[in-house]
Amino acid sequence: MRRLAEIPPTAGLPPRLSDLFASKGDLPRALSAELGTGGALVTCSGTAALMLALRVARQRQPRRDTVIVPAFTCPLVAIAVHALGLRLRITDLACDSLDIDLDSLRAQLDDRVLAVVPTHLGGRVTDVAAVKCLVADSGIAVIEDAAQSLGATINGRSIGLAGDIGFFSLAAGKGLSTYEGGVVIARDPAWLDAMRELQDALPRKSAFEFRRCIELIGYTLFYRPLPMRWVYGLPLHRALERGDPVGAIGDRFPMDVPLHRMGGWRQGVGARAARRLPTFLDERRACALPRIDRLRAIPGVHVHGDRDGERGVWPTLFVRLDSERRRDTVLDRLWMAGLGVSRMFIHALPDYAELRDIVPRQHCPNATSLAARSFTISNSPWLGDEDFEAVCRVIESA
Ligand SMILES: *Cc1c(COP(=O)(O)O)cnc(C)c1O
């Protein structure tokens, strides 16, 4: 039976129409209060936030020009490095892990390396302390990519503060959203000031900002189970039917990155929605934990969770199976079922045809294998217990 509703692939904070009638709110202040950071800077995207971070790192280390990122991450990260004219190196993940493989990282560290970007994927917390240990006193900046993990903490503190700089994404579907947007924080206030200075030089009035306002209104109207069938479900079906999984999950991006400042109205909308975020994250956590237990009871199923001291957030449940064949069987049955089952990234970075010109051809077997054996289950409040149980039964029978 065809369902009418379409569950979004991640648990974005449900927008409210009343958010749109916000007067100017102070989004940086709302976020830094919520995150418990000294300050925060709002940018026009997570990608733009990463670019600011890299530019400030470069101001301090002008002779270094190489950025190391994990092989399993968002293609926009590679595009950001490329857009700045920096060199990209990738490092494999540890086996069956979302953490960077430390041996692979160690082997790549030299005096060209400007920054390492440990990445908190899918709400999980990555081990930044281990990366910091490796680069200690070398002048290499540690930039935490927390695009997918706004609200996660380690030992009671927001992620993004263990390294030098941390950034979050406010893109559609990523927790709190202003349709496009980003937030950047820094351990040392001087780094934040340096980023603010670069950001203040960006244009305020831009054609992009106007477009983003319209898109945010659209998002507020359509980010609901029924309209999601039209705005998300149908394009997804079309892409999968023409055999284009990269297009299906929206993993294909233009090479030039819009850079401007986020306008006051969108910041106000974000600040108003941000008030609901802590409660929402707690509710999502309470929903996720028993579901993880249910999944973990299925033989051959692994779900990434928190380790000691980590308190991640739960936009999705990131599931890894024992074989690619089984994963593909699950997706054949569920990807188009409207039940919020999807994938985080289709490939490891070196395996994207569209990134061939900007990503070095490095062999990253662990990342490639993780991409081939994993999928995500939405932790959206709209995925009810019965539907979740239906997903579990498909996984069991695959
Ligand atoms: C989405 C994402 C980004 C980029 O953020 P945007 O706000 O979409 O520019 C960077 N890194 C990761 C891991 C992401 O998922």
Q: What is the pTM of this model?
A: 0.97
Q: Which residues line ligand 1 (CB under 6 A)?
A: 45-47, 73-74, 76-77, 119, 145, 147-148, 169, 171, 182
Q: Count Cβ atoms below 10 Å from residue 112 Cβ, excluding itself.
A: 14
Domains (ranges, CATH) in the chain?
19-200 (3.40.640.10), 277-397 (3.90.1150.10)
Quick: pLDDT tens for 110-161.
Answer: 999 999 999 999 999 999 999 999 999 899 999 999 999 999 999 999 999 9
Q: Count Cβ atoms below 10 Å from residue 337 Cβ, excluding itself.
A: 18
25 pLDDT higher than 90 = no
Tell me the DSSP string of 356-369.
Answer: TTTS-----HHHHH
Structure confidence at residue 2 (pLDDT)? 54
Query: What integer best gives the mean pLDDT of the chain?
Result: 96
**Residue in 76, 177, 316 to alter for ligand 1 test, most ligand atoms within 8 A of Cβ:** 76
Structure confidence at residue 206 (pLDDT)? 83
**Residue in 74, 125, 208 to alter for ligand 1 test, most ligand atoms within 8 A of Cβ:** 74
pLDDT band, very low/low/confident/very high, at 24 (cuts 50, 70, 90) = confident
Residue identifier of the C-alpha nearest atom 5 of ligand 1: 46
Nearest to 143 by CA among 171, 120, 111, 173: 120
Q: What percent of the chain has pLDDT over 70?
A: 99
Structure confidence at residue 1 (pLDDT)? 45
Structure confidence at residue 128 (pLDDT)? 98
169 CA: nearest ligand 1 atom: 7
Quick: pLDDT tens for 363-385.
Answer: 999 999 999 999 999 999 999 99
Quick: pLDDT tens for 83-119.
Answer: 999 999 999 999 999 999 999 999 999 999 999 999 9
**Residue in 77, 120, 143 to alter for ligand 1 test, most ligand atoms within 8 A of Cβ:** 77
Quick: pLDDT tens for 269-325.
Answer: 999 999 999 999 999 999 999 999 999 999 999 999 999 999 999 999 999 999 999
Say which residue, 167 or 254, is predicted with more confidence.
167
For tokens 């850079």, the residue is 259
